[in-house]
């Protein structure tokens, strides 16, 4: 009787933890959907007139890749009471991961380009910054996608089906035993935090180089050029890298950690929002005499008939006098 009571108590605590994770996730997802709907006017007036290039492509992948990820994630891992086969659940898991990592890599790439452009880095330094920003995320993406293909399709358990979940949720132990998801995880975590530290140093150096001499107008100029956006991105990346180091939270306890859930949601939702704001800010900014290197690097000239003034675009392409 005692064992049965203990089991019921453990099950009750587990279900409560699942509910908490769901509510946290749904609140973040609703915030993102609200952001997308409330910024349609800005997208139409600033991004839509641009010709297809690096900036517009990154913006579209970040913005709408995240929307598709949210839709797939909710349909697979929420209490929808759908009847989905094990193979379909596996395909959904793979597709969800592909869209999530695509949006995440686009955020990392846009951050690297903006940092490089703001500091006016040459090609060699540009490649170095891109490697710092995208190197380990790309490695993790490849490993995660391979792991999703490796992990066998499993039918949903009776408990999950009764609770309304359409698909089974793999445990940390399951990922370790049946896939390469955690291969070299500790080494990757430490390499990631080192790369993030170097990237943060580049960001700080960019602020010092870009904004020195502005005196009391420093905050205004940082906000104008998107400095607050990319520094916020760096802060979230740094916190995420620290949390995922084995000395902070062991891999076996990551799934049940509320802190990790919050960091995950920040990576899934907050970082895409900040990356979009950074791209939009870089395009519409009034440079007040400074060289618009970010806009030139990320965006092609606007399409004929757009709201951008032709004379402003010609001025934007002129190099500043020595």
Domain with 167 in it: what CATH number?
A: 1.20.1070
Tell whether 314 is covered by a domain.
no
Per-residue pLDDT for 150 more than 80?
yes
Q: How big, in percent rounded to 5, are the helix, strand and coil portions of the chain?
A: 75, 0, 25
Q: What is the pLDDT of residues 204-217, one digit of tens each?
A: 777 776 666 555 45
pLDDT tens for each residue of 212-248 = 655 545 455 555 555 677 678 888 888 888 888 877 7
Residue 170 confidence (pLDDT) above 60: yes
Number of domains the chain is built from: 1
Whether 192 maps to a domain, the answer reads yes
Is the pLDDT at 28 greater than 90, yes or no? yes
Which phi and psi angles does 302 have, rounded to 5°?
A: -65, 155
- What confidence score (pLDDT) does residue 201 get? 86
In a domain, 45, yes or no: yes
Domain assignment of residue 184, yes or no = yes
Note whether residue 280 is domain-resident: yes
Q: What is the model's pLDDT at position 315?
A: 37
Helix (H) or strand (E) run with residue 33 in it? helix 2-38
Asked, for residue 307, whether it belongs to a domain, the answer is: no
DSSP assignment string, 246-273? TTTS-GGGSTT-HHHHHHHHIIIIIHHH
Mean pLDDT of 23-34: 92
| Burial state string for 243-277 with b = 16 or more CB within 10 A and e = fewer than 16 | bbeeeebebeebbebeebbebbbbbbbbbbbbbbb
Does any domain span residue 173?
yes
What SS3 state is found at 65?
helix
What confidence score (pLDDT) does residue 148 get? 93
- Report which of residues 209 and 190 the model is more confident about: 190
Residue 218 lies in a domain: yes
pLDDT greater at residue 70 or residue 112: 70
Domain containing 256: what range?
2-298
Look at the pTM and tell me if it is higher than 0.95. Answer: no
């Amino acid at each position: 009787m005692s064992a049965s009571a203990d089991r019921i108590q453990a099950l009750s605590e587990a279900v409560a933890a699942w509910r908490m994770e769901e509510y946290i996730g749904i609140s973040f997802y609703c915030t993102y959907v609200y952001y997308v709907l409330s910024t349609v006017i800005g997208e139409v007036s600033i991004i839509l007139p641009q010709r297809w290039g690096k900036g517009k492509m990154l913006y579209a992948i970040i913005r709408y890749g995240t929307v598709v990820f949210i839709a797939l994630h909710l349909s697979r891992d929420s209490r929808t009471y759908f009847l989905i086969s094990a193979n379909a659940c596996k395909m959904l898991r793979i597709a969800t991961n592909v869209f999530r990592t695509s949006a995440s890599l686009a955020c990392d790439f846009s951050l690297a380009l903006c940092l490089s452009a703001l500091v006016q880095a040459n090609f060699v330094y540009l490649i170095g910054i891109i490697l710092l920003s995208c190197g380990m995320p790309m490695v993790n993406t490849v490993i995660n996608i391979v792991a999703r293909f490796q992990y066998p399709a499993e039918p949903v358990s009776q408990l999950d089906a009764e609770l309304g979940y359409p698909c089974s949720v793999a445990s940390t132990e399951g990922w370790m035993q049946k896939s390469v998801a955690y291969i070299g995880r500790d080494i990757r975590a430490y390499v990631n935090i080192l790369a993030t530290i170097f990237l943060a140093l580049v960001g700080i150096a960019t602020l010092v180089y870009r904004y020195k001499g502005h005196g009391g107008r420093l905050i205004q100029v940082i906000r104008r050029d998107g400095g607050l956006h990319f520094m916020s991105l760096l802060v979230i990346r740094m916190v995420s890298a620290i949390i995922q180091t084995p000395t902070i939270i062991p891999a076996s306890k990551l799934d049940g950690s509320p802190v990790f859930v919050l960091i995950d949601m920040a990576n899934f939702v907050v970082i895409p929002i900040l990356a979009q704001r950074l791209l939009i800010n870089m395009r519409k900014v009034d440079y007040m005499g400074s060289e618009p290197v970010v806009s030139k690097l990320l965006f092609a000239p606007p399409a004929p008939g757009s709201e951008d003034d032709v004379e402003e675009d010609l001025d934007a392409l002129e190099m500043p006098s020595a």
